[in-house]
């Protein structure tokens, strides 16, 4: 059985978390400079080409730019791009490759593929001495581990998006948002601490559930997919059905009945109404629903527009607390794998 310690937060190193998220915030300026320089050199589009969870975590940033500018931004699966090609990927492209380990085979391969096409590759890595970090044209390393990487990657990609918005649209938001986010690492720790009792209760509540429907919209949809796929499925071997709130009523609702667990992640952006529609429907069909609402977490000094940009980060940071308790009450360490990096595939 995993040890349940008497610390304020179960199996949590505050100093490590503070350092990692502080490191992500500190990369804001360098990332802005890099994007600005590449735009000055004639960059005409940007590709987020990651693999697995790290790749999906780029979605909120990609959509932020897509919704606000006409600058072509693509978020694609690295392996598929290499298999099928993409005509716009070339000499005038910026390619962003997030890779925590820096050793994922698809990330290494798509880096070489992109450079062969003439693109400039920016790597976001967790390890300076990794193959991806060493081969990239520009590398930004911020050490992180699985339990701290979501917030770090979300922040780094947000800074890339804001840099594009400022340059392309004259948005003049980067400095203001960066200033508000300077205290975010400490604020996230406070949010985790306040959520700890509920995390413990939720872990006990769902420890025997074998299946969850998980939904979100806007930026929280990314976290719904990520938590279902990369945490509950990969790290806890629990079956999930991540579904965008806009699609919930186009098929998935027929799977919901009394006893079926549904998780809703609510953000503070314009897509919030889509999750509220699901939330209003659920009491009619199931007695097992969990709602995590970013609006319920205190963030002193952070404006409403900035809160809307980071709802998924707030949801991610409290879900880490749920995961910490789940591995204890289910006696299933988050590091246990059957296949991932254990066998050839």
The tens digit of pLDDT for each residue in 286-323 reads 999 999 999 999 999 999 999 999 999 999 999 999 99
Residues 238 and 276 in one domain: yes
**Cβ distance 93 to 117 under 8 Å?**
yes
341 located within any domain: no
Confidence of residue 1 (pLDDT cuts 50, 70, 90): very low
- pLDDT of 2 > 70? The answer is no
CATH of the domain at 292: 3.40.50.10490
Closest by Cα among 322, 24, 257, 277 to 158: 24
Residue 26 has pLDDT above 80, yes or no: yes
Residues 94 and 229 grouped into a single domain: no
Are residues 157 and 244 both part of a single domain?
A: no
In a domain, 338, yes or no: no
d(CA 46, CA 121): 10
Pairing verdict, β 288-293 and 261-266: parallel
Cβ atoms within 10 A of the Cβ of 54, count? 24
Bridge partners, 293 (sequence order): 266
Q: Which domain holds residue 216?
A: 185-329
| Burial 290-322, CB ≥16 within 10 A → b, else e | bebbbeebebeebeeebbbbbbbbbbbbbbbbb
Residue 7 pLDDT greater than 60, yes or no: no
Q: What is the pLDDT of residues 210-241, one digit of tens each?
A: 999 999 999 999 999 999 999 999 999 999 99
Query: 311-329 and 219-226 are packed helices; what angle lies between their axes, rounded to 10 degrees?
Result: 20
- Smallest CA-to-CA distance from 73 within 85, 60, 54 is with 60
Q: List pLDDT tens digits, range 90-140.
A: 999 999 999 999 999 999 999 999 999 999 999 999 999 999 999 999 999
- In the listed set 127, 151, 180, which residue is the last one of a domain according to the structure? 180
pLDDT digits (tens, 9 = 90+) for 67-95: 999 999 999 999 999 999 999 999 999 99
SS3 124: strand
> Is the same domain home to 240 and 281?
yes
């Amino acid at each position: 059985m995993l040890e349940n310690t008497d610390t304020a937060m179960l199996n949590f190193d505050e100093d490590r978390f503070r350092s990692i998220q502080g490191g992500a915030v500190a990369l804001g300026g360098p990332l802005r400079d890099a994007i600005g320089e590449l735009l000055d050199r004639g960059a005409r589009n940007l590709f987020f080409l990651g693999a697995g969870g790290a790749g999906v975590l780029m979605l909120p940033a990609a959509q932020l730019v897509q919704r606000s500018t006409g600058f072509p931004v693509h978020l694609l699966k690295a392996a598929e791009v290499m298999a099928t090609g993409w005509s716009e990927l070339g000499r005038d492209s910026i390619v962003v490759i997030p890779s925590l380990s820096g050793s994922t085979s698809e990330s290494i391969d798509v880096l070489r593929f992109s450079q062969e096409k003439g693109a400039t590759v920016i790597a976001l890595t967790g390890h300076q001495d990794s193959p991806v970090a060493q081969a990239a044209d520009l590398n930004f390393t911020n050490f992180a581990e699985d339990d701290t990487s979501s917030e770090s990657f979300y922040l780094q990609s947000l800074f890339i998006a804001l840099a594009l918005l400022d340059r392309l649209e004259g948005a003049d938001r980067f400095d203001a948002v960066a200033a508000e986010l300077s205290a975010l690492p400490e604020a996230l720790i406070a949010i985790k601490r306040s959520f700890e009792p509920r995390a413990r209760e939720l872990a006990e509540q769902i420890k025997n559930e074998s299946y969850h429907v998980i939904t979100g919209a806007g930026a929280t949809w990314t976290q719904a997919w990520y938590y279902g796929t990369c945490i509950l499925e990969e790290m806890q071997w629990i079956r999930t059905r991540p579904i965008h709130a806009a699609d919930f009523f186009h098929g998935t609702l027929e799977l919901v009945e009394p006893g079926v667990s549904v998780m809703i992640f609510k953000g503070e952006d314009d897509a919030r109404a889509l999750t509220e529609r699901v939330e209003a429907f659920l009491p009619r069909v199931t007695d097992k629903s969990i709602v995590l609402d970013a609006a319920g977490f205190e963030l002193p000094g952070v404006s409403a527009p900035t809160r809307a940009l980071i709802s998924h980060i707030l949801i991610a940071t409290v879900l880490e607390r749920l995961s910490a308790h789940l591995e204890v009450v289910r006696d299933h360490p988050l590091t246990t794998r059957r296949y991932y990096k254990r066998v050839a595939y």
